[in-house]
Structure 1
Amino acid sequence: MMAAGLELVLPLGEAAETFQLEKAVCSHGLFMMAPNQWDPLSKTLLRPLRLLHSDTQSSVLVRISQHQCHPHSLHVRVYGTHSLSARHRQSLLAQVSRMLRLSESDERAVREFQNMCNIHGEEEHRAEDTSFSGRVFRSPTLFEDMVKCILLCNCQWSRTLSMARALCELQLELQSPSSPVSVAESGGSVTETRSAKSKSPKAEDEKLIPKTPTGKERKKNLKGSKVSSLLTKPGETIAELEANAHLSTASVQSKAENLSPIVLPINVEDVSCQNCKRCQATGESYKTCSALLLDQYSEGRESHAYDMVQNFPSPRELANLDESFLRERCNLGYRAKRILKLAQGIVEGRIQLAQLEEACNGASLSSYDKLSDQLKEIDGFGPFTRANVLMCMGFYHIIPTDSETIRHLRRVHARKSTLKTVERDAEHIYGKYAPFQFLAYWSELWNFYEKRFGKLSEMPCSDYTLITASNMKISTRGTDKRKKICD
């Protein structure tokens, strides 16, 4: 028996020949970051999506699946509602299409990259020989991509996951009228809010801080920089700016119409996850983490008179927060200032997300430099962050290089790369795949991850934090012992 809700169908069109949901989702670490929940057994993606262009801040929970009996379309089940306007349906399907890169230009890039791999005879890059097909998973909005690219910088993967989860927890708190954060937004000071929280029991305080290693951070020059006027359209009204940034204007306490309590499926065998430590810890070993998320959603809707779906925060939800509160609440470190400035720039209309995405249509090399220059003027967007954001926008000829790239080139290609030479070395190795150098590199790196950790689409969510540099190291102790024995 299926859960109550509305089911939308998204035809794959020409992409049906190359598209597999499992490969499209489990193709980048972004799929592991909250609020995404991949179910390794039912091979479905569960996450909240916003009702864009709505007069509320409402989100709805959706489950995306590709049925074996209908492989040429995706099924998007929207929980908690039996009716949506045509505009809302179109908005939800557009967000799904963006996440899974289902546009004509995305499909063309996938086919060209796969043909290039066949020409070069590189088996490790062929779609049929690897879990990576040429589609790189991304977020439903550019803002979420930009923030998550900031979270990727200068920290362990476990902390990146923790910061993303904390931001989603904060977003849920912002929806609650009784939340100290919500009270602060509606008139109380954040300082008063933090003082009130300090009086609460220790157990409550501990819930607010992600329990992950802090890790070392380099001190950054956090001097503010002006945002380019190229990012702003002169003469726009506030309403146009909000529509451009896909922001809603009503209070976070507003209730969307036509939403009803969710009904969970009676038969949960198709969403079982016996290997998930989180499920075992809660005594719900027969459910996936995504099933637990459905439980939380259901409980929240039954106990409150307003909609509570834990989503990634929007620019408007973050823009008015106190920097020190955001930093401490989500353990963001120096990133809090950068995320806050980004959100404020969008809300104030100085950063035009829609204009940025329109400029990358077709992902021409000439538009890359222009977009990179515009992103450079946003505080905190250095070369690595910019390259990752532009990759999310569809540019694949530049490889975002960091210590992981150096480690990979040394291990797989025996290159003695350094921070000064890594870009040149990467171009020498992957230049033959132009303009898809990143896809070739990422296919190789993703394949290496799976050889080390197993198929990532089958990994329980409780094990995501195991993907660290220390666990990447290949032990040589056995080799040393054998040498001693031979001697």
Structure 2
Amino acid sequence: MNLFLYLRELEGGFDFEKAVCNHGFFMMAPNVWSPKRKSLSRPLMLSNSSLVMVTISHPHIHPFLVIQVHGIDNVRRDDEELIFQQVRRMLRFTSKEGGDVTAFHQLHKAAKESGFGRIFRSPSLFEDMVKSILLCNSTWERTLLMASRLCALQSKLADRTRRSRKRKRDQEPKKETCGNFPSAKEIASLDKDFINEHCKLGYRAKWIIELAKMVERKSLNLEEMEKREMEPAKVIGKLRKLKGFGVFATATVLMCIGYYHLVPSDTETLRLLREMHGMEECSKMTLEKEAQVFYARYSPFQSLAYWFDLIQNYEAKHGKLSELSPRDYNRVGGCSYMNQLKAD
């Protein structure tokens, strides 16, 4: 069954391919981008907490996205709205985000000309947060592998739950073999040894479980954080109290929420500043400050400007990210550069 999500008058314009293929999250499981079809496939959550596989595409010139829902002949109204909600979040279909794109384009002519401005994110903030932890102190190849293993684990957990049910609802959708990214509820029920047995996350497993338990018992209210009604400093304070959320992870999560004033600073940032902007004197010790100073001209969209530069750098080396085969994803990034820094 196909659903149609109308674009209407999206402020800042909209290019589906560019709205998806602009951040490493789109390469991480359970997202599957098809370079040939220009479509994005992944499982999404339904109102009864079951999963359904969808494929999202934007037919040329048409004023809507097509969301192909696999394995269901009739989608209930509440499930349709939940699917739309998750797709809107991934692609940033909100008036606030549209306004941000317009304001950023006024400061950054090259970004406007290229259609860059909507950073891809996950259907939920929890998934964004866990993936931000997976990005830290890891090679890109290993990060991709950890995300895949978490989705494989979710599939096993879902199969176990289905087998334990005495009866199935008549209209329950057919299940796909691909797992979704595990929810906070699923992770909170596990221990670190079990997760590491299946996913090999190392010390990250403990942090992710602690995060999931805080979300489940409502001591960390992600919905409140996403409203963007809190002062950024307050959000930063909440994040920095969490295990695993240093400078890079915090800035990445802020960007996912819609606060763009902090540049995510890690070895890739250092490589980019040295390689693209000739800042050879920049070091690990001075990186955070120098990155903020360099991109200050784009305030309050420093991280968008940084990410635009990073995408330009990647595509100059590897070609358009949207045209890469998934088997080539592990080549993107500066893994060898990170190893060089560790040796220094």
Q: Secondary structure at the match of 1:176?
A: helix
Q: Return closer, same or farther for 1:350/1:261 CA change in 2, 3 Å cut-off.
A: closer
Q: Is the 8 A contact 2:263 2:302 kept in 1?
A: yes
Match of 1:13? 8
2:36 equivalent among 23, 35, 41: 41
User: Structure 2: any 5+ residue segments left out of the alignment?
Assistant: 339-344
Match of 2:100? 109
5 Å matches for 1:418-429?
418-429=283-294
How far is the alpha carbon of 1:377 from its aligned partner?
2.1
Match of 2:27? 32
Q: Is the 8 A contact 1:16 1:73 kept in 2?
A: no
**Separation in 2 of the partners of 1:254 and 1:26?**
41
5 Å matches for 1:48-447?
48-52=43-47, 54=48, 57-70=49-62, 72-118=63-109, 125-129=110-114, 133-177=116-160, 255=168, 257-259=170-172, 297=176, 309-358=178-227, 360-361=228-229, 367-415=231-279, 416-447=281-312
Q: Return closer, same or farther for 1:138/1:40 CA change in 2, 3 Å cut-off.
A: same
How far is the alpha carbon of 1:87 from its aligned partner?
1.4
Match of 2:323? 458
**Separation in 2 of the partners of 1:437 and 1:468?**
20
How far is the alpha carbon of 1:261 from its aligned partner?
5.1
Q: Secondary structure at the match of 2:209?
A: helix
Q: Return closer, same or farther for 1:256/1:41 CA change in 2, 3 Å cut-off.
A: farther
TM-score of the aligned structures, taking structure 1 as reference length = 0.66
Q: Return closer, same or farther for 1:367/1:17 CA change in 2, 3 Å cut-off.
A: closer
Q: Return closer, same or farther for 1:255/1:36 CA change in 2, 3 Å cut-off.
A: farther
User: Structure 1: any 5+ residue segments left out of the alignment?
Assistant: 1-5, 119-124, 187-250, 263-296, 301-308, 474-487
How far is the alpha carbon of 1:134 from its aligned partner?
0.7
How far is the alpha carbon of 1:350 from its aligned partner?
1.6
Give the letter aligned to residue 143 of structure 2. T
TM-score of the aligned structures, taking structure 2 as reference length = 0.92
Aligned residues: 337
Deviations 1:58-109 (A, max 9, x none): 1001111101141x21111111112222111111101000000110011111
More moved, 427-436 vs 24-33? 427-436
Q: Secondary structure at the match of 1:38?
A: strand
RMSD: 2.2
The structure whose RCO (Cα within 8 Å, separation 6+) is larger is: 1
Deviations 1:309-337 (A, max 9, x none): 51111111111212112123101010000
How far is the alpha carbon of 1:16 from its aligned partner?
7.2
Identity, % of aligned positions: 42
Q: Secondary structure at the match of 1:63?
A: strand
Match of 1:277? none
1:448 equivalent among 313, 322, 328: 313
Q: Is the 8 A contact 1:176 1:253 kept in 2?
A: no
Q: Return closer, same or farther for 1:49/1:37 CA change in 2, 3 Å cut-off.
A: same
How far is the alpha carbon of 1:257 from its aligned partner?
4.5
**Separation in 1 of the partners of 2:245 and 2:213?**
15
